[in-house]
Amino acid sequence: MRPLPLSLTAGLVSLTLTATLAADDHWPAPLQALVDQGLEVHGEFDAPGGLSGFAASHRGREMAVYLTADGDHALVGTLLDAEGNDLSAAPLDEHVRSGQEAEVWQRLEESHWIQDGDPEAERVIYTFTDPNCPYCERFHEQSRPWVEAGEVQLRHIMVGILRNDSPAKAAALLGAEDPAAALQEHQASDSGIAASAQPREVEEQVYANNQLFEGLGLMATPTSYYRNDEGRLEQVEGAPDAARLETVMGAPRP
């Protein structure tokens, strides 16, 4: 696939495209040329100056595309008004970011995790946990007041990335007769759970979690996701400090 001819500078970049629009194509020709090169169009929005706006993304990078009134040219970048206000941000937030956040949340829900806390607790936090990660242990300990008060539930997405025996330990926790109890015992123990062979199905769950971790572009454990008071997806890497911890947990320490 050829790279997109896009320049993401602060101004608008004019693209003269010569692609021919087939009768059954959905998009105008300049936009279709970008779609053919991998652009994903998420929605259309009103734009000033006779332009038609399209909220799009390419390989996870969001961008606004503006079609000229004659339908023969496309502009890619940030549209500013006379006061310097960014007119592209709100449409991208509505059509791209919110949809991407919903997709990420669904992927987290469908991953393989261990329930930690009351499953009816309103605050749900997904956290990628490696059995050999000391910061995961610290975050687990930090969360106890909220979890034990029934205000927060952690869903530990078990991954094996830090050491050679991490995948086997993660599988041992997921495959335990009582995964929640095994996780608690592991976090409270100096030695932790021993690596052990598990059914192929369980080992594949760890592999799938690792793939999700990498697919989200994550670099460290724990990395946690939660929804803020506005319902937007938030991400925090590592064990947060005291101030950030209350924000993540959604309330002051019980």
pLDDT in tens for each of the 254 residues of the chain? 233 333 332 233 333 333 333 334 578 999 999 999 999 998 899 999 999 999 998 877 889 999 999 999 999 999 999 999 999 988 888 888 888 888 899 999 999 999 999 999 999 999 999 999 999 999 999 999 999 999 999 999 999 999 999 999 999 999 999 999 999 999 998 888 999 999 999 999 999 999 999 999 999 999 999 999 988 999 999 999 998 999 999 999 99
Nearest-angstrom CA–CA distance, 53 and 76: 10
Of 195, 208, 209, which is closest to residue 128 (Cα–Cα)?
209
CA torsion sign for 231, 233, 237, 238 is positive
Q: What pLDDT score does 22 carry?
A: 37
Q: What length is written for the chain?
A: 254
Domain 1-84: top CATH class: alpha beta
113 in Cβ contact with 156 (< 8 Å):
yes
CB 16 within 8 A of CB 73: yes
pLDDT in the model for residue 3: 34
Quick check: 185 and 65 in contact, CB under 8 A?
Answer: no
pLDDT score recorded for residue 97? 82
**DSSP tally for the chain: helices H, then strands E:** 8, 10
For residues 247 and 71, give the distance between their C-alpha atoms in angstroms, rounded to a whole number.
47
Here the tokens at position 126 are: 């997904």
Which pLDDT score is estimated for 172? 97
pTM of the model: 0.74
Tokens of 48: 């000033």
- How many whole angstroms separate alpha carbon 85 and alpha carbon 78? 10
The domains of the chain are located at 1-84, 107-249
| 159 torsion bin: left (phi>0), alpha (psi -120 to 50), beta (else) | beta
pLDDT of residue 96: 81
Q: Which CATH architecture has domain 107-249?
A: 3-Layer(aba) Sandwich (3.40)
What percentage of the chain's residues is helix, strand, coil (to nearest 5)? 35, 25, 40
User: Edge-to-edge, what's the strand order for the sheet holding 52-58?
Assistant: 12-16, 73-77, 61-67, 52-58, 40-46
Close Cβ partners of 150 (under 8 Å, ≥ 6 residues apart): 117, 118, 120, 121
The answer to whether 160 touches 170, Cβ cutoff 8 Å, is yes
Question: Which pLDDT score, from 0 to 100, does residue 58 have?
Answer: 87
